[in-house]
Structure 1
Amino acid sequence: MAKILMVGPTPSQNGGVSNFIKNFIKSDNFETKCNVLLYKNGKIEQNESIFKTLIRDTIRIIQYPFSKDFWSSGLVHIHTASYLSFYKNSMYVIISKMFNKKVILHIHGAEFHLFYKKSKFLERYIIRNTLLLPDMIIVTSYIWVSRIKDIVNSDKKILSVPNGFDPTIFRPFPRDKARDRVGILKNKKALITIGHLENYKGHKYLIDAVNILSKKRNDILVYIIGEGSLRYELQNQIDSYDVEVVLAGGNKPDFEIPLWINASDIFILPSLAEGNPTVMFEALGCGKPFLGTRVGGVPDVIIDNRLGILVEPGDPEALAQAILQALECEWDHEYIWEYAQQFTWENIAKEIVKIYQSLL
């Protein structure tokens, strides 16, 4: 059985990369065909200071080539995002190639092209040459294949593998029963969105759209689930408009998230940038139509109007019109659920295992 050393954050932490690792390593396809050895980096505690994390990461990088797992593995699968995450993980790529290890660099997140664009000449040189080192690069959507190729300007093998969802957790559940559990009024049209309260998630434009809609109908209620630096700014915006938008907080227990999704009429994600949002697959897995923006890998998944509606990012007028259209549509929830099954973590793990086998 192949030994794979996976370098990435602790699965117990929040975030897209942690979520990917957690679900991937527990899938049957992975457990039966690979022996995964996890070399953890990043935060151990959620509220840990940047300084403490930096010190620990530096120590972990120094220890890396002396670890037993490093020497016993046949392939190293390194997960990274942008900015500081990339520079940190580039050290794992360099060390692994120094010792002739087979390396996969797995790039997550929504802003890698912006990270590169904003970088200075020397930083771009480091980024580009680091990307040339691994034997293969995995990205989360087709649009990122072309973006990374534009950076490396070579025939580097780059594959797209989407994120996924757990169908035992995210599955259809009666809407009214879900509303009883989370406390949503049954006589309202409920839109749910889940994400960090940060600029790139586009919540400002969703609130603007709800304000536009409030002049046309009074039965729409929006719940924004998440925490972040814009909480007070968004609350002030909601108060100034006096619209029915609720900042429902973050850090919900895992069992509550599928209840919130199932309690909705429409799941909405008004992001300005995305990689391949896991919550999109979770919503589809619950049979819910997806209303979102044409960013990142979203258009790769929402491929027809039976699955949802997409608009350009940062356009509250278009978003408001799409919400009206979505609420008036008769959605085939079974079709949405069936379509989503190709994105279960088991199927995603099967794709990754095939990549491993091609390199070993």
Structure 2
Amino acid sequence: MKVLVITNLFPNGLEPNRATFNKQQIEHLMKFCRISVVAPVPWSPPVKFMGRYSRYASLPKIEHHCGITVYHPRYLVTPGIGRSLYGISYFAGVYSTVRDLNSRYDFDLIFATWSYPDGFAAQHMARLLGKPCIVKVHGSDVNQFLKHRLRRRMIVGSLSKADAVYSVSRDLKQKLVAAGIEQEKIEVIYNGIGEHFGEAVCARREAKLRLGLPEDRKIILYVGNLLESKGVFDLAEAISRINENERPTTILVGDGRDRKRLEVSIASLGLQALFLMPGPRPHSEIPLWMAASDALCLPSHNEGVPNVILESVAVGRPVVAYRVGGIPEVVTSDDLGYLVAPRQIGDLSIALAFAVSKKWDEEKIRAHALRFNWEANARRLFDLFSRICSKQSERSVFEKEEVEVA
């Protein structure tokens, strides 16, 4: 089977840590099918007013990642305005690349990850080429984008016309059904973690030594984008409410547009000495940071099923998070961590204090992670691909017979 993947969420030479979960999933899918990846990037001339988008001008049109050929066509962006129309510019940007690749490989199926603009463009390309299309939804592309009237219409329209929708959680599926997508069209398949993720992780003391962290300090770890919507300001406020002599060291691994503002907030709370911000780290290094920690905190205001939670569980570390999205589908008991109502900073503070003081059964936590693996995910996804392609073949035969009868 030959599959074309269309997604803006994929590592590239400028962003090696971008959506590594998609790369991991595709690496496992390649055991079952031949895959090409089209990962568009914003088009931007190298001028200052384009801000962060101007850096993409230096990105090669084609890259290779672990045996995966990745094509980077450009699509027009207009920072600050017209985001609801990006689906149209995205479609225009990928059109020539997808058409040329299909003339070479004659794909059996188009698979898009991210509902908009990726799913919108992929569904329209599939329709033009006469190919089936499956769209994967992750979290914010449903939780946030459906709040915008025009984007909602474009998302619901394209998902309704897609052959199948793949959701990473039951929560997202319910939201799509409420938005008008047929329930039978949506399949829930949880993301996974690598079979060997966390296997070689050392003990907490050794991990602290390797990272140069104080051995005598309890550690809360956050891994992700430094954005207000990810709850990082809530985390800082929650730490400030813990008794002063019991406050853990908090490590924020990642970067984002709210970093400077967050640093100011941490300073205003008098917590500079308790917060470490090492910036983005290679994905291969994340298990070490997790091993050094006592608990992971992810106080996002909206989520799908974040892979960092699956990874923390695989390392045997409990999770403290808001009860949002698909997180309760992973953290199913207090043996795995604590969930609190969103934006309840007092409750978050109490949960963090309990998490670093409790003696956790790390083996029990690790055992729970075994149900989330990329091998099983890839098998289920390939089975979905096969079913959709079979339906397409049956349709084609039926249409041919109708023409012959006529």
Task: Report the TM-score when normalising by structure 1.
Answer: 0.89
The SS at the match of 2:363 is helix
Structure 1 residue aligned with 2:404 = none
Q: Which runs of 5+ in 1 are unaligned?
A: none
Structure 1 residue aligned with 2:101 = 67
The SS at the match of 1:9 is coil
What are the equivalent positions in structure 2 for 1:231-270 lying under 5 Å apart? 231-243=259-271, 244-270=273-299
Structure 2 residue aligned with 1:212 = 241
Change (3 A) 1:132 1:248: same
- Alpha-carbon distance between aligned partners in 2 of 1:17 and 1:74, rounded to the nearest angstrom: 27
What are the equivalent positions in structure 2 for 1:316-335 lying under 5 Å apart? 316-335=345-364
Offset from partner CA, 1:268-289 (integer Å, 9 cap, x none): 1111111211111111111111
How far 1:98 moved relative to its partner? 3.2
Kindly provide the amino acid, as one letter, of the partner of residue 65 in structure 1. R
- Alpha-carbon distance between aligned partners in 1 of 2:252 and 2:19, rounded to the nearest angstrom: 22
What are the equivalent positions in structure 2 for 1:307-322 lying under 5 Å apart? 307-322=336-351
Kindly provide the amino acid, as one letter, of the partner of residue 95 in structure 2. I
Whether 2:231 is the aligned partner of 1:198: answer no
Change (3 A) 1:130 1:347: same
Following superposition, which runs of at least 4 residues in structure 1 exceed 6 angstroms of deviation?
none
Structure 2 residue aligned with 1:49 = 54
- Alpha-carbon distance between aligned partners in 2 of 1:229 and 1:22, rounded to the nearest angstrom: 24
Structure 2 residue aligned with 1:176 = 205
Which of residues 142, 150, 154 in structure 1 aligns to 2:170? Answer: 142
Structure 2 residue aligned with 1:4 = 3
Count the aligned residue pairs: 350
Structure 2 residue aligned with 1:128 = 156
Kindly provide the amino acid, as one letter, of the partner of residue 132 in structure 2. K
Structure 2 residue aligned with 1:34 = 33
Structure 1 residue aligned with 2:386 = 357
Which of residues 100, 107, 111 in structure 2 aligns to 1:77? Answer: 111
Report if the CA contact (8 A) 2:2-2:105 is conserved.
Answer: no
How far 1:338 moved relative to its partner? 1.2
- Alpha-carbon distance between aligned partners in 1 of 2:210 and 2:42, rounded to the nearest angstrom: 33
Structure 2 residue aligned with 1:24 = 25
Report if the CA contact (8 A) 1:196-1:227 is conserved.
Answer: yes
When Rg is computed on C-alpha atoms for both structures, the one with the higher figure is 2
Structure 2 residue aligned with 1:115 = 145
- Alpha-carbon distance between aligned partners in 2 of 1:114 and 1:254, rounded to the nearest angstrom: 26
Report if the CA contact (8 A) 2:17-2:283 is conserved.
Answer: no
Task: Report the TM-score when normalising by structure 2.
Answer: 0.79
How far 1:329 moved relative to its partner? 2.1
Q: Which moved more, 1:146-155 or 1:272-281?
A: 146-155
Offset from partner CA, 1:170-214 (integer Å, 9 cap, x none): 334210111011121111111111111111110111111111103
Kindly provide the amino acid, as one letter, of the partner of residue 255 in structure 2. E
Report if the CA contact (8 A) 1:16-1:278 is conserved.
Answer: no
- Alpha-carbon distance between aligned partners in 1 of 2:108 and 2:124, rounded to the nearest angstrom: 16
Structure 2 residue aligned with 1:280 = 309
Report if the CA contact (8 A) 1:108-1:140 is conserved.
Answer: yes
How far 1:60 moved relative to its partner? 2.3
- Alpha-carbon distance between aligned partners in 2 of 1:125 and 1:10, rounded to the nearest angstrom: 22
- Alpha-carbon distance between aligned partners in 1 of 2:181 and 2:313, rounded to the nearest angstrom: 36
How far 1:314 moved relative to its partner? 1.2
Which of residues 221, 225, 230 in structure 1 aligns to 2:249? Answer: 221
Report if the CA contact (8 A) 2:20-2:283 is conserved.
Answer: no
- Alpha-carbon distance between aligned partners in 2 of 1:96 and 1:71, rounded to the nearest angstrom: 14
- Alpha-carbon distance between aligned partners in 1 of 2:181 and 2:373, rounded to the nearest angstrom: 33
Q: Which runs of 5+ in 2 are unaligned?
A: 45-50, 58-73, 77-88, 390-406
How far 1:141 moved relative to its partner? 0.7
Q: Which moved more, 1:41-50 or 1:290-299?
A: 41-50
Change (3 A) 1:253 1:17: closer
Offset from partner CA, 1:111-149 (integer Å, 9 cap, x none): 5233222224xx443332211111100111101001111
How far 1:239 moved relative to its partner? 1.3
Offset from partner CA, 1:1-50 (integer Å, 9 cap, x none): x11121123742359973233101222xx233212222332369995439
Whether 2:137 is the aligned partner of 1:104: answer no
Change (3 A) 1:334 1:307: same
- Alpha-carbon distance between aligned partners in 2 of 1:115 and 1:11, rounded to the nearest angstrom: 20
Structure 2 residue aligned with 1:93 = 123
Kindly provide the amino acid, as one letter, of the partner of residue 348 in structure 1. N
Residue identity (%) = 24
